[in-house]
Structure 1
Amino acid sequence: MNVQPPPQNPFRDRGPEQVAFHRTELSVILSLYGRMVAAGEWRDYGISCLREVAVFSVFRRTAEHPLYRIEKRPRLRDKQGMYAVVGMDGQIMRRGHDLKTVLRVLERKLIRAVK
């Protein structure tokens, strides 16, 4: 007797169509963003929701490369942590599992900016 496996559901086997920031994650990021705007350090931002990564880009001026990118990569959740802060040169400044602790690397810059 030849038993064939049930047909695979292509929609169930695929991951999500795109990665996005949750409302609680955005509130943490926008809180830091607001403080940096008030300090005169940042002026603009952009959000990209792609298939494997969600990116919150921070700009000093509108028409330039981002100063920092805050990335969410769910595939790295069990490894290095799904959140990362990437500098202008592409260097990963901090990576981790908790967004608030990852963003502390940028809050230190806020303390220097206020002085």
Structure 2
Amino acid sequence: MGTVSITVTDAPERERFEAHDEDGTLAGVVTYQLTGNIVVYTHTKVEPAFEGHGVGALLATAVMDDARARNRTVVPICPFLSEWLEKHKEYDKLVARSTRKVK
């Protein structure tokens, strides 16, 4: 598999962001629950054929940029996203503080 062009779109009727390749194949999803201005990202799943190609990071960036654009507070329940956010401090001010792991 060479360089894959992935597009991430919001599918509010399914309460998830979807990543598709240029053929329209589903590469991965981030599921969410929206309550007012608070978005809870519940699960990130990358299809096995697309693992190791940066799809998870692409999804994480897309959902966080979307939250920032919509002025939403993020509650990252998803372990993958929580871990990703630890390395991407530029999104810190979007994340609900109470969800941070106690160190």
TM-score by length of 2: 0.28
Q: Higher strand fraction: Structure 1 or Structure 2?
A: 2
Indicate the structure whose relative CO is greater, using CA pairs within 8 Å and at least 6 residues apart.
2
